[in-house]
Amino acid sequence: VAALVGLSFSGAIGLTFLMLGCALEYYGVYWPLFVLIFYSLCPVPHFVAARVGDDSDAASSACRELAYFFTTGIVVSAFGFPIILARVEAIKWGACGLVLAGNAVIFLTILGFFLVFGRGDDFSWEQW
């Protein structure tokens, strides 16, 4: 239960950074909210690989490696999106920094969720 509370708290902190990067009066542009799409797409390759891949205990499988590749592409895109928006002056660089801080916290929260609940014990993410 403590892990779940900690993960929800860190997720709230990450979303607060994202909202501050959008809603502060000095920034006032809501384009960075499109990173929410990347947050929701991030775990999808892992879920597909877990469903499609075989349950062998091999050190490496092609399906799992492809899922890591797609997940890495999604995470890098989420970090690159606000930088590109700031570079073309659609948002200010301060907003970009807040969104990048929120990205780091959110993606570490997602990683923590899979590390805590992805062990395959009796209380795992598979029942969610």
In the chain, % of residues over pLDDT 90: 62
Q: Name the token pair of 119.
A: 């062990």
Distance of CA 87 to the CA centre of its chain: 22
In this predicted structure, what is the pLDDT of residue 126?
A: 52
pTM of the predicted protein model: 0.83
Tally helices (H) and strands (E) across the chain: 5, 0
pLDDT higher than threshold 70 for residue 123 = no
Domain locations in the chain as residue ranges:
1-30+71-119
pLDDT tens for each residue of 66-115: 999 999 999 999 999 999 999 999 999 999 999 999 999 999 999 999 88
54 pLDDT tier (thresholds 50, 70, 90): low
pLDDT tens for each residue of 21-37: 998 888 888 999 999 99
CA distance 62 to 55: 13
